[in-house]
C-alpha cells in the first residue's frame, strides 16, 4: 500500500511539474512549430505509457490533416513527420471529432471492431494502441493530438485521457497567440498583391541562404525576372488587368521552381527567385520560368541569372550581377535569359 501511495505521489508530482513547465515554455515562444513540438515532448514525458505524441493541423477547407510536430520516447522521430497530408475522407470519425471540438477516440490493435483504415495507421507507425483528441482554440478545433503506446494494447485510463486534455487546454492560448503572430509575420513579409515575399523579406532570405551556403560550401542561385512591355498592359487594359498579370506571373514563377526555391516581388513588375543548393542547373530553372510565364500568364519576360561564388555572403553583390545580366537579356531582344559570367 505504501508503495502504491508513493507511485501515485510521484505521478502527481510529475504531472504538476509538466503543467508548470508547459506554462513556462509556451509563454516564451511565439513560433507555432516550437509551441507544438514542446507540447508533444511534454506529453511523452508526463504520460507514463506514452511512447510517442504527434500533432497535426486541421485544414478544414481541404478536409485534410497535415503533420506538424512529433516527439518520441527517444527524442525527435527519425522518420519524416512533417508536411505529410492525410485526407479525412478516409477517417470520417476523426473528422466528426474535430468538428465537435471535444471528446476523444481510442484505438487498440487487439480490438476486433477497429476500422481497417485505423488499424492500418497503428501498424504503419508501430503503435499497439493510441488515443486522439482535438486541439481546440476558443471552441474551434485547429488540430489533432495523437498519443501512442508502442508496447501495450490495454485500454487507456481516464486519468491519462484527462491529463492529455488538460495539457491541450493549457496550450490552447499559446497556440492561438502563435497563430496570430505567424499571421502577422506573414502579412509583414509578403507582398499583398502576389503573396510572394516582399522586397525586404526577399533580401533577408537571400542573406540567410548565402550564410548557410558559406558554412556548407554550397552555392546559391538567383533569378531576376522583369516582364517585357508591362507598361502597355496598364495603358491599354487598365490597372486591374495589370494586377492580374502580376498575380499570374507570381503563380507561374512558383509553379516552375523547385519546392525549396523562394520567390519575391522586388517592385513593380520585377520578381526575384532564391535558388538554394544549385549549380549550373540554374539555367534549366530559368528556362522553365520563362516557359511557365508564357504558358500560364500569357506574358513575355526577360531574366537575369547569377550564381554565388565560393564564400560569397553579400546579397547585394549577387543580385547586382543578376541585374546586369537582366539588362543584357533586354538589350538582346527580350524574351530570354542571360547568365552572369
Same domain, 172 and 48: yes
**CATH (domain of 285):** 3.30.70.270
Comparing 106 with 238, the larger pLDDT belongs to: 106
Check residue 22 and give its pLDDT. Answer: 63
Query: What average pLDDT is seen over the chain?
Result: 88
Same domain, 233 and 335: yes
Q: Is the pLDDT of residue 336 over 80?
A: yes
Annotated catalytic residue, options 183, 269, 277, 314? 269
Could you read off the pLDDT of 38-58 as tens digits, one per residue? 888 888 888 889 999 998 888
Confidence of residue 12 (pLDDT cuts 50, 70, 90): low
Could you read off the pLDDT of 264-274 as tens digits, one per residue? 999 999 999 99
Of 125, 143, 147, 136, nearest to 49 by C-alpha is: 147
Same domain, 166 and 260: no
User: 0.85 exceeded by the pTM?
Assistant: no
Query: Has residue 164 been placed in a domain?
Result: yes
Contact indicator for 107, 97 with CB cutoff of 8 Å: no
| CA distances for 103 relative to 144, 164, 166, angstroms | 11, 11, 12
Average pLDDT over residues 112-116: 92
Same domain, 167 and 237: no
Same domain, 12 and 152: yes
Confidence of residue 323 (pLDDT cuts 50, 70, 90): very high
Same domain, 332 and 226: yes
Domain that holds residue 75: 2-186
Q: Is the pLDDT of residue 134 over 60?
A: yes
**CATH (domain of 160):** 3.30.450.40
Q: Which residue among 139, 154, 186 closes a domain?
A: 186
Same domain, 204 and 318: yes
Average pLDDT over residues 279-297: 93
Specify whether 269 is catalytic.
yes
Query: Has residue 48 been placed in a domain?
Result: yes
Same domain, 125 and 215: no
Query: Has residue 194 been placed in a domain?
Result: no
How many CA atoms are closer than 13 Å to the CA of 172, on its beta-carbon side?
A: 16
Q: How many domains does the chain have?
A: 2
Check residue 288 and give its pLDDT. Answer: 96
Amino acid at each position: 500500500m505504501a508503495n502504491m501511495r508513493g507511485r501515485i505521489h510521484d505521478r502527481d508530482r510529475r504531472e504538476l511539474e509538466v503543467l508548470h513547465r508547459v506554462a513556462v515554455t509556451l509563454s516564451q515562444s511565439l513560433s507555432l512549430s516550437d509551441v507544438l513540438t514542446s507540447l508533444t515532448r511534454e506529453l511523452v514525458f508526463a504520460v507514463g505509457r506514452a511512447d510517442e505524441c504527434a500533432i497535426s493541423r486541421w485544414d478544414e477547407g481541404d478536409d485534410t490533416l497535415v503533420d506538424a510536430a512529433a516527439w518520441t520516447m527517444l527524442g525527435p522521430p527519425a522518420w519524416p513527420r512533417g508536411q505529410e497530408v492525410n485526407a479525412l475522407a478516409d477517417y470520417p470519425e476523426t473528422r466528426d471529432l474535430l468538428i465537435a471540438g471535444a471528446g476523444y477516440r481510442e484505438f487498440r490493435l487487439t480490438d476486433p471492431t477497429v476500422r481497417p483504415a485505423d488499424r492500418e495507421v497503428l501498424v504503419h507507425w508501430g503503435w499497439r494502441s493510441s488515443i486522439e483528441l482535438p486541439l481546440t482554440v476558443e471552441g474551434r478545433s485547429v488540430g489533432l493530438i495523437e498519443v501512442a503506446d508502442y508496447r501495450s494494447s490495454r485500454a487507456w485510463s481516464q486519468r491519462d485521457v484527462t491529463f492529455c486534455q488538460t495539457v491541450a487546454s493549457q496550450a490552447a492560448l499559446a497556440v492561438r497567440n502563435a497563430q496570430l503572430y505567424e499571421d502577422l509575420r506573414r502579412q509583414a513579409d509578403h507582398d499583398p498583391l502576389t503573396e510572394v515575399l516582399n522586397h525586404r523579406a526577399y533580401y533577408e532570405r537571400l542573406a540567410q541562404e548565402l550564410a548557410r551556403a558559406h558554412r556548407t560550401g554550397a552555392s546559391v542561385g538567383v533569378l531576376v525576372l522583369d516582364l517585357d512591355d508591362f507598361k502597355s498592359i496598364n495603358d491599354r487594359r487598365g490597372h486591374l488587368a495589370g494586377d492580374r498579370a502580376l498575380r499570374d506571373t507570381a503563380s507561374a514563377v512558383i509553379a516552375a521552381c523547385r519546392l525549396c526555391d523562394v520567390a519575391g516581388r522586388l517592385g513593380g513588375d520585377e520578381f526575384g527567385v532564391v535558388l538554394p543548393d544549385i549549380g549550373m542547373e540554374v539555367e534549366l530553372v530559368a528556362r522553365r520560368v520563362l516557359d511557365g510565364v508564357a504558358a500560364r500568364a500569357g506574358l513575355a519576360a526577360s531574366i537575369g541569372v547569377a550564381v554565388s561564388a565560393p564564400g560569397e555572403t553579400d546579397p547585394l553583390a549577387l543580385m547586382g550581377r543578376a541585374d546586369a545580366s537582366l539588362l543584357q537579356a533586354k538589350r538582346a531582344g527580350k524574351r530570354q535569359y542571360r547568365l552572369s559570367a
